[in-house]
Structure 1
Amino acid sequence: MRDVLIVGAGPTGLALGVDLARRGVDALVVERAAELFPGSRGKGIQPRTQEVFDDLGVLDALRAAGGPYPVRMVWKDGERVGEQPMFDPVPADEGAPYTEPLLVPQWRTQEILHARLVELGGRVAFGREVTALEQDPEGVEVRFADGTAVRARYVVAADGGRSVVRRAVGVGMTGESVDPSPFVVADVRVRGLDREHWHAFPGADGTGLMLCPLAGTEEFQLAGKLPEGTEPEPTLDGVRRLVAAYTHLDADDVTELRWASDFRPRAALADRFRVGRVLLAGDAAHVHSPAGGQGLNTSVQDAYNLGWKLGAVLRDGASGALLDTYEEERRPNAAAVLGLSTGVHRGQVRRGAATVQLALGYPESSLSEERRAAPAGVRAGGRAPDGVVAGVRLFDAFRGPHWTLLGATTTAPGVRSLPAAPASYGPGLFLIRPDGYVGWAGDTETGLDAYLTRVGLR
C-alpha cells in the first residue's frame, strides 16, 4: 500500500509530490493525460510562491526560465497610446527579498517541478484515469479506467475544477459567475509586435485582446474577452480572426497556435477540503478568475501546507487529527483569495501589495500558539520573514523539511536551532513551521515541549 496517491500532475500535485519525496514519503502522482499540460495558463508566480519554490529547490530553474512582468502597452487604431504598469510596485526589504511576480508559462513550471520530483526519486504515472474510489478506516482504493487499482493510506485530489475525486466523495462546490462574457486564451506565435511589452487592444464595448510575450519562448499568450453570446473558437482560424478584429495586425501574422482554450470566469469553493482519508487541493478545492494571478499560487500553497502535515502523520508519529488543520487553515484562506481574484477581475482591487500573497497567514489556526505577554513584531500564525542571525540567512536556515527554532535550543529531532531572532521579529522565541509560518511564540520555553509533542516532534 502506498502512503499517498496524488491525483493530478498540475502544479499542485507536482509541488506536493516534491515535498513528500524529500520527506521520504512513498507517494505516487497519477495523471489522466498522456503528458504534462502544454499551455501557459497560470503564468504568474507570486513572491510568496517564489519563497515556497526556493524551499523546494526549483526557484533558480524558474528564474532562468522566466522573467519579470512586462509593462502594458495600450493600442488604439494601430497607434500606441500609452504605457501602464501591470501592478503597483512593492518595495523589497530584508524580510521580503522577492516582491515582484515572476512570469513563467505554466507548462515550463510543471516541467521544472516534474524534473525535481524525478530527481528526488518520485514519479508520475501518465495515462491513469481515475474512475472510482472507496475508502475504509485504513486506506483508500482508487480504481482506474484500465481496470487497475492502487491502494493508499491517503489520497489527494489535485485533478482540477472538474475533479473526479471530489465528486466521488460527494463534495459540492459553492460559487458564482465572475463575468458572463466568454474568454479565449491561447499560446501563439505572432509577427509584428515587440517582446518588451504586454500589448493591450481594448475594444469599445468592454471586450478586448491582450498579447503577452512568454519569457524563454518565441510565443505570446493571447487572452481575449469576447462579447456576451459569442461562441468562442479556440482554433488557429478562430484566433486569427480575433487578432484581425481587435488589432492592427493581419490574420496571417499569427503564424502558429501551440495551445488554446475557452472559459467563462467563475469563483467557486469546495464545501469541504477533507473527507476521511481524501483531501482536496488546488482547483479541485477552489476555482478562480485568472485575474491577478492567484489560482496557481493558492494551489501551490495548499500543497505546501499539506505536505509537512502528511509527512508528520506518516513519518513522525503525529496524530491523524493534524490533517484536520489543513481544511481549518486553507479553506478560509482560499475563500479570501477567491474574493481577491474576483475583485481584481472587476477592477475593484489593484495588483500589487494585495496580490503578492506575502501577508497571508493563519493567525486563527489551532496550530498557532502565541504565548508572549506583550507580543510585538511577528505573531504566531504569521509568515516568518527573512533576515540574518549569527551570519546565517534565515531562508537558508529554513530551507528543507525541518522546523526551525529561533532563540533557544532543543533536542527534538527535525528541529534546527538558531541563537536568536532578528530584531524585526520582536522579543521572544519563535518556532517556525516547515511551511515558513510561525507555529509557536513565547517569552520563555514554557509550553514549547507540549507544542512539539502535538505536532509529532516529541
Structure 2
Amino acid sequence: MTDGVARNEDVLIAGAGPTGLTLAVELARRGAGVRIVDAAPVPHRESRGKGLQPRTLEVLEDVGITERALAAGTTRLPFRKYFDGAHVNDTDPFADARPTPDAPYERGLLIGQWQVEKLLRERLAEFGVDVESGTEVTGFEQDEDGVTAFLADGGRIRAGYLVGCDGGRSRVRKAMGVRFDGTTDETQSMVVGDVEAEGISRDVWHQWFASDGAGVMLCPMPGTNSFQFQSGPELDADGEPLPPSLESFQRIFDRYAGVPGVTLTDPTWLSVWRVNVRMADRLRVGRVLLAGDAAHIHPIAGGLGMNTGIQDAYNLGWKLALATAGLADPGLLDTYEEERLPVAAWTLGISTELYARVREAVREPGTGVEAAAPPPMGTGYRWSSLARGSLADPATASDPATVGDPAVLRPGDRAPDAPCLDASGDPVRLFQVYADPRFTLLGFGAEVAGAVGKLGAEYEGLVQAFAIDGGDLRDHEGHAHRAYGVSDPALVLVRPDNHVALLTRDPDEVAEYLSRIVLITPKE
C-alpha cells in the first residue's frame, strides 16, 4: 500500500503506454518530479500499434530515442497483395520519398508498440524514474494545492497534477466526469494477434483478399520471429463472431491465403478490435488532464493512435513542467486542450475515412492497404493563441490563400530542420539545437544579433539564443533562411515542442510574448 502523505510529486501519470512514458520523459528531462504507475503487473510484448509516422520520429528524436527506434524497426517493407489466391502486385507507396534538409524523415517506421515502450522506459530510467507496475489509479480528489489519487490496493498518492494516460477505458476520465462522445459499432470487428509462421517470407507485408471482401494480413514484426495477424473474425453457425484463438487464426489463414504447409504457432497476443470513434469533450478539469487513448479512440486505419498519443504528451510536457515550477501563466495549461482537441477531432475524422477506404480497397484486385496511407500529421497549431506575429506584409498575411498555404511558414507551424555549422565550424542540425528543453530564439541578420544576445542573457533559464551568421550558427547553404521563409533581419522564437511561437523583426515583441505565457522576471 502506498502512503501518499509521505511523498508529493509534481506530476502523477496513470498509464505507462507510449503516451504516459513520453510525458514522463518530457517532464523528467525538464526537472519536474514525476511518478508513473501502470495497472499491468509486467510490461506487455504485443505489437499493437506498429508504426511511427515521420513527425513522431522527429518528436522522439527530441525525446532521445529515435536513433534506437530506427535500429529496432524498419522503414522499408513493401506491400504484397493477393486476390482470390493469386499474387497481384508488390507496392511501396513511399518508394519515391526522399529526406529533405527541413524534413529528415521521409517515411514512417514499422516497429512493435512494445518495442517503443521498452525504449521509452529505458530513456526514462536514465533520469532515475521507473514505472511502478501493478499500481492502478481508480479515482481522485483535488483541491487548490494538488490531487490525491486513490489506488486499487487502497493506497494514495499525492501530486501537484494527475494525467490520465490509462487507455480507452480510462478510470481517470470516468472519475473526472468527462463525456466520451461518439459511437461503438459492434457489427464491425477484427481479430488481431502475434503469431509465428514458418515458410512465409518476412520481407513483405502479406495481404490476402477475396471477392467476398474478407481476407487476412500477416505483417512481419522487426526484431522478432512474429507476424502481426489481422483479419475479420470467424463466425459460428449463427453468424456470431468467435473469440480469437490460434485454431481460428489457422482456419482463417488456410481459407484466404491458400498456402499449403504453413502452420501458425506460438501465439503471444490474441485480441478483438471493434470500431470505436470517441473523443473526450474536455482534456482538463482543474489539476487533472487526459492524453492518448484516454482522450480519443478511433479506427486503426492509418496507424494514427500511438502517434497521436505521443504528440499529445509532447505538447503537454513543457507546459506542465513550467506549471509545476510555478513559472507558467495560469492560461498556459488551457492551451493544451485548445491545441490538441482539434487534432483529436481531425484524427477521428481522417481515420474513419481511411477505414472506409480500406474496406473498399480490399475488394479491388489492384489495391491494398497502401490505399489508406494517411496525410501528414503533427504539422502545427495555426489556430492557437500561442501563435503570434508574421513577417509577411499585412495585406499578404490577411489573404486566406496565403494564410492557408502550408508552404508558407506561419506561427504555430512545425519548426523545420536545417543543416548549419556551429561556432566551431562543425555540422549541426537545427533539430539538434532544439533538443535543449528551453525555447529557442533564432536571429537572422547582423541587425538583430545584439538583441538576440541580450534576450538570451535576460531569459537564460527559459530561452537559448543563436545569432544566425553572427557567430553562433552559420546557415552556410541557406537552408534555414529558406525553410523559415525569412530574409534579414528576422527573429524566430521556437517553442520547446519545436513549433514556431513567433515571427517578428521587433525584439520587444519577443519579450512581450514570453511575458504573456510565463511568470519570470528578466535579468537586468
Answer whether TM exceeds 0.5 for this pair.
Answer: yes
Match of 2:180 in 1: 173
Match of 1:381 in 2: 412
Residue of 12, 22, 25 corresponding to 2:32: 25
Could you give the per-residue CA deviations for residues 224-269 of structure 1, whole angstroms, max 9, x where no partner exists?
A: 1247854142222222222222212358610210111102122111
Q: Does 1:366 align with 2:385?
A: yes
Q: Does 1:206 align with 2:254?
A: no
Q: Is the 8 A contact 1:10 1:37 kept in 2?
A: no
Q: Distance in 2 between matches of 1:431 and 1:89?
A: 33
Q: Does 1:441 align with 2:503?
A: yes
Q: Does 1:10 align with 2:30?
A: no
Q: Distance in 1 between matches of 2:276 and 2:287?
A: 28
Match of 1:272, as an amino acid? Answer: R
Q: Is the 8 A contact 1:406 1:430 kept in 2?
A: yes
Match of 2:337 in 1: 327
How do 1:184-223 residues align onto structure 2 when only pairs under 5 Å count? 184-223=191-230
Q: 1:323 to 1:140 in 2, by over 3 A?
A: same
Q: Is the 8 A contact 1:95 1:387 kept in 2?
A: yes
1:74 CA drift (Å): 1.4
Match of 1:306, as an amino acid? Answer: L
Q: Distance in 2 between matches of 1:86 and 1:225?
A: 24
Q: Greater CA radius of gyration, 1 or 2?
A: 2
Q: 1:305 to 1:240 in 2, by over 3 A?
A: same
Q: Secondary structure at the match of 1:416?
A: strand
Q: Distance in 1 between matches of 2:357 and 2:149?
A: 43
Match of 2:74 in 1: 67
Match of 2:430, as an amino acid? Answer: L
How do 1:410-421 residues align onto structure 2 when only pairs under 5 Å count? 410=455, 411=457, 412-413=459-460, 414-420=462-468, 421=480
How do 1:309-328 residues align onto structure 2 when only pairs under 5 Å count? 309-315=319-325, 317-328=327-338
Residue of 310, 319, 341 corresponding to 2:351: 341
Match of 2:120 in 1: 113
Q: Is the 8 A contact 1:55 1:399 kept in 2?
A: yes
1:18 CA drift (Å): 0.7
Q: Is the 8 A contact 1:209 1:225 kept in 2?
A: yes
Q: Distance in 1 between matches of 2:154 and 2:125?
A: 26
Q: Does 1:452 align with 2:488?
A: no
Q: Distance in 1 between matches of 2:234 and 2:348?
A: 24
Match of 1:279 in 2: 289
Match of 1:258, as an amino acid? Answer: T
Could you give the per-residue CA deviations for residues 167-186 of structure 1, whole angstroms, max 9, x where no partner exists?
A: 00101111134783220110
Residue of 155, 159, 162 corresponding to 1:152: 159
Q: Is the 8 A contact 2:390 2:410 kept in 1?
A: no
Q: Which moved more, 1:69-78 or 1:442-451?
A: 69-78
Percent of aligned pairs sharing the same letter: 42
Match of 1:181, as an amino acid? Answer: Q
Q: Does 1:127 align with 2:146?
A: no
Match of 2:436 in 1: 400
Q: Which moved more, 1:288-297 or 1:407-416?
A: 407-416
Q: Distance in 2 between matches of 1:314 and 1:139?
A: 10
Q: Is the 8 A contact 1:132 1:165 kept in 2?
A: yes
Q: Secondary structure at the match of 1:121?
A: coil
Q: Does 1:142 align with 2:142?
A: no
Q: Secondary structure at the match of 2:187?
A: coil
Q: Is the 8 A contact 1:25 1:311 kept in 2?
A: yes
Match of 1:335, as an amino acid? Answer: A
Q: Distance in 1 between matches of 2:13 and 2:328?
A: 21
Q: Distance in 1 between matches of 2:276 and 2:355?
A: 10
Q: Distance in 2 between matches of 1:425 and 1:131?
A: 46
Match of 1:243 in 2: 253
Match of 2:492 in 1: 430
Residue of 36, 43, 48 corresponding to 2:43: 36
Q: 1:112 to 1:23 in 2, by over 3 A?
A: same
Match of 1:357 in 2: 377
Q: What TM-score do you get using the length of structure 2 for normalisation?
A: 0.83
Q: Distance in 1 between matches of 2:131 and 2:255?
A: 42
Match of 1:23, as an amino acid? Answer: R
Q: Which moved more, 1:135-144 or 1:170-179?
A: 170-179
Q: Which moved more, 1:131-140 or 1:10-19?
A: 131-140
Q: Distance in 2 between matches of 1:338 and 1:77?
A: 32
The CA RMSD over aligned residues, in Å, is 2.0
Q: 1:40 to 1:343 in 2, by over 3 A?
A: same
Q: Distance in 1 between matches of 2:248 and 2:417?
A: 48
Q: Distance in 2 between matches of 1:281 and 1:249?
A: 43
Q: How many residues align?
A: 456
Q: What TM-score do you get using the length of structure 1 for normalisation?
A: 0.94
Match of 1:191, as an amino acid? Answer: E
Q: Distance in 1 between matches of 2:88 and 2:392?
A: 57
Match of 2:169 in 1: 162
1:203 CA drift (Å): 2.6
Q: Secondary structure at the match of 1:175?
A: strand
Q: Which moved more, 1:412-421 or 1:370-379?
A: 370-379
Match of 1:385, as an amino acid? Answer: P
Q: Which moved more, 1:88-97 or 1:303-312?
A: 88-97
1:7 CA drift (Å): 0.3
Match of 1:345, as an amino acid? Answer: Y
Residue of 280, 287, 312 corresponding to 1:270: 280
Match of 2:249, as an amino acid? Answer: V
Q: 1:178 to 1:340 in 2, by over 3 A?
A: farther
Q: Is the 8 A contact 2:191 2:244 kept in 1?
A: yes
